[in-house]
Structure 1
Amino acid sequence: MSNQNQVTTKKNTVVEQVTAKVQQFQQNGEIHFPPAYSPENALKSAYLMLQNIKTSKNDGNRPVLEVCTKESIANSLLDMVVQGLNPAKKQGYFIAYGNQLTFQRSYMGTMAVTKRVAGVKEINAMPIYEGDEVNYEIQNGKIINLSHKQKFGSINKENIIGAYCTIITKENEIYTELMTIEELRKAWSKAQFWGKDQASEKKGSTHDEFKQEMAKKTVINRACKKFLNSSDDSSLVMQHINRSDEAAEEARVHEEIQQNANSEIIDVEYEVDPEEPKQIEDNTSQQMDVLQSQQEQMEYATTGPNGPGF
């Protein structure tokens, strides 16, 4: 059987399997989708996208539908649908770790799920620039009465000193999450795709070019995560939110272990060439540049040509 026929067969089997499972959830009253959400259309859009997604260079740049297991493809599609998300709206993206396909929410997807699950009606975020006047009080460990006065001339990505997100519930309660630039940079330094710590604000990188949006994205994710974590874990949606996040982390860690297992450290004595430290430093820098470029290409490829998933 040709690769194309194998992909087509897998598509028919997987899509039918996920559709049947979703219909079962609906019949049992376990899930209720937003009025404008069509599970069937979301599945079709997702599968069309999967046909164009390939594995990393380390895994041979092969189509994920040929490499990934049928079970992981089905689970990733089911996680997407149960959360009521659609990758065509940049609410999430599919990433393969080895032969495991995972679905990971974008920050827009996290906002959509938070509004649906946690009774939230409004989510807003704003970067804070040097020279802005920000005042707030802390009561019972919570930030209250935040006020932010901004000068137009201060708006410059190089002047960002922090960011905040406010979440307004349907009961008009206000929750505020505040992050300093140091906290933002620490979050950015943890690469999500390759499990490596690396500088994320390098000239021309995603975090450098779109620093304002990345600051908003990071603080929104942190604020929404706290709301989701306080929701009822017994709901079907929350079960798949947790399963999706855990599956992505487990697959990432497993792939990193597999890659490291192929490396062997041999302890030998040798005479050091005076020029060798500089060569090692140059080679390491080049490798980091390649790794950074691969990560940004993956993020760009999974979110489309209109920006990195904003």
Structure 2
Amino acid sequence: MISTGLGLGFTAQAHAETRLQVSSARETDDSGKSKLVYTARVAEATGDSVSGGTVSFETAKGSLGSAVVTDGEASIKVDSLPPKTTSINAVYHDSTGAAVSSQSISVSPADSSGVADFTVTASPSSLSTTAGDYVTTTVTVTPENGFSEIVTLSCSGQPATTTCTFSPSTVTPTGTTAVTSTLQIQTTAASGNLSRLGAPGSSQRTVWAFAGPGILALAGLGALRRRNAGFFRMVGVFALLAAGSFGLTACSARYAYLNKGPSPTGGTAAGTYTIAIEAVGNNDSTVTTHSVDVTLTVK
């Protein structure tokens, strides 16, 4: 069983003062599955609701996940708590990623069903970085009732130009001992498009841009010097015209590049994103899936 409770926290630091009120409840989803719901209400010291920042819900075994604060509230839903969990600590992180205030509530672990299963947590679950850098979090899979099957990890919801890499991407609990994987989230900085010069094949194109007109010009002069050969004289005239056109085109392209420069390409856009970490395991013939949400703030 889980106790439904309220906690009220107040922290005054160098950051803005905030109040944090935490509640817990149980609800049933559309499929009839029971879910634990934890909600944190965040307000300024004046009582006005806070929007922005994130709240992470921490346990001694790792974070249950984090959520973005919208209209003064942030909430998560979980299937179950890690074994022997007795309290949950909600921590509010402002838009800079700094931990500003926190509040704990006591819970009673749910009665064991006797079915082999596992829980998944992540620490930290509120992440902050600048575009071009990376952050890491430790994902922990804790077995229940002797679960000892392979669990595959994946993530979704990451912003464009951002990659998630698990090391390792699969873990296997021993039935009594939790196992971990490190998730690295790599963002991308904005950069110039270097496809004009310096790209594969660009050096060859540059050589032909300057050597081509010279070759055509020599061929044209050679044809013009041939006596009593009207056809060759005509070929020479065309070769000289082509050489001039080729040279002007090459110079025009280089002038445009030197004056305009490479076109910029966008990196990971600034903002706060919710990334879902999914853990999928097989329990005999049954596929079991659990997930934990982490928030990523890109500055």
TM-score normalised according to structure 1 size: 0.22
Q: Higher helix proportion, which one? A: 1
Give the greater-gyration-radius structure (CA): 2
Q: Higher strand proportion, which one? A: 2
